[in-house]
Amino acid sequence: MRALAAAIACGLTLLATPSLADNHQVEESRVEQFAQLPHWPGYWVSEQQAGTTIGGIAPSVLEARETGEMPENFMNLRAANAAWNEEGRRRLEEARRVNAGRKATGWGFPMMMDAATPIQFTITPEEVLIVNAYSEVRFIYTDREMPDEFDLWPTVRGTSVGHWEGDTLVIETIMVKSPIEYFHGAPPFSEEARYVERIRMEGDRLVSDVTITDPVTLDEPYRTQVSWVRDEGFDRMIEIDWDNDRTGVDENGVNTIEMEVVE
C-alpha cells in the first residue's frame, strides 16, 4: 500500500513539474519578446546639462551668463512657466523662503529625469528600470495595470506603469510625494499630480514628451520636453556617497583647491 501511495505521489509530482520542452518554449518566447524591444545602452545625461562638473553648474549656464540669455530647455521639469494656480504660487513662494542652504540626498521624481548625473535604462519584457547615480531606481511595470487606489501610497518616485507603442515607451506615474519637499529645485506639484512620459530614440538622442496634470496646483496641464545624450565620460554607473558638498568650488563651478600632483 505504501509503495502504491509513493508511486502515485511521484506521478503527481512529475505531472506538476514543467517538462524540459515546456521550459525551452518559455525561453524561446522570452528571447522573441526581447528581440521586439528597443535597446538604449549607455549612460544618459540631460542634454542641456551635459558636461556639468562637480561644481554643479552646466556649461550651457556658464555660457548663458556671458551672453545674458538663459538656455531655453534648461531643466524644463522645474516647470517655471507652468500655469500655476493660487495654491501653486503659494507653494513656490514658501519654497523660496525656506530653501536657502538646503541639501538633498538625491533628486527624486520627476527631477531625476532632468539631471546632470547619469541615468541608465534596463529594458525587459516585464518592466523597465531607470537607475541614477544616487542609487534611485524607478520601476516601470509594463505587464500590468495601475494598482487599485487602496493599494497605493505616496513615495519619492511614485508608482509607474507603462506600455510600448512601437519603439516609444509610454509611462504613467502617480502618487509622487510633493517633489519640492524632497529636492529644493523641484516644482511644487501635489500628491494628486499625474505624469505621462513618452520616451523614444531620435537619432543618437533620447527624447521624452512630458505632460503633467495636477488639480491642486495647476490651472491647466503642463507640457514640456526633456532630452538626453550619452555621456562618453562614463563607462559604468558611478557609486559615490553624494552629499552635495560644494567645498572648494567657486560660483562659476571652478575647483579652487590646489591639488598636489604626484609624479
The domain locations on the chain are 44-230
- Provide CB contacts within 8 A for 192, sequence distance 6+: 214, 215, 216
164 DSSP assignment: E
pLDDT at 262: 38
pLDDT confidence band for 115 (50 / 70 / 90) = confident
R_g of the chain, CA atoms, integer Å: 24
Mean pLDDT of 196-216: 97
**Residue 111, all three cell numbers:** 527631477
Cα–Cα distance for residue pair 78/94, rounded to 1 Å: 15
C-alpha cell at 73: 530647455
pLDDT in tens, 62-104: 777 788 776 666 788 999 899 999 999 999 999 888 877 677 7
Could you tell me whether strands 137-141 and 159-165 are parallel, antiparallel, or unpaired per DSSP bridges?
A: parallel
Which runs of E-coded beta strand occur in 142-181? 159-165, 168-174
Q: Answer with the residue of higher pLDDT: 233 or 199.
A: 199
Q: What is the spatial distance between Cα 39 and Cα 167, in angstroms, rounded to a whole number? A: 9
Cβ–Cβ under 8 Å, residues 173 and 158: yes
Q: Give the Cα separation of 204 and 188 in Å (integer).
A: 32
pLDDT tens column, 158-205? 999 999 999 999 999 999 999 998 888 899 999 999 999 999 999 999
Spacing of C-alpha 250 from chain mean position: 29
State phi, psi for 85 to the nearest 5 degrees.
-90, -170
**φ, ψ of residue 136 in degrees (nearest 5):** -85, 135
149 touches 60 (CB < 8 A): no
